[in-house]
Amino acid sequence: LPDCEFWTYGQEDGLTKCWLRTADAGREHNMTFISGNRACGLAAPERRSKWTQGENNCWGAGFTEDMCCDEKYGPSGNPACWDAAHTFEMCCLGHRPYWQGSGGAARSAEL
């Protein structure tokens, strides 16, 4: 798709969807979506934050970064790992929800 410049992937109305876009207009803040430009596909694994277990509380109870963040399960990792408190974006990409303090904005800027 030569006209595709940007993409968005996430859950809407209980379905997993992917949108391909020709422009970067109409963006909305949504913590359940991931998005980027067409050039970022191969760079995504390199952007992952290597947080410690104590910093993000994602790993434990049998869950590991290798098991949950591996994109062989799809662009959001292993769906069996995620719930309302633990998301692919927070645990694998380092994006903290806005209600967890200003540190999330600073960390997101690092990515």
What would the pLDDT profile of 24-43 be if each residue is shown by its tens digit?
Answer: 777 777 667 777 777 654 33
Mean pLDDT over each residue of the chain, to the nearest integer: 68
C-alpha distances (whole Å) from 31 to each of 12, 14, 45 are 12, 15, 19
What would the pLDDT profile of 37-75 be if each residue is shown by its tens digit?
Answer: 776 543 344 444 444 344 557 777 788 888 888 888 888
Greatest CA span in the chain, whole angstroms? 44
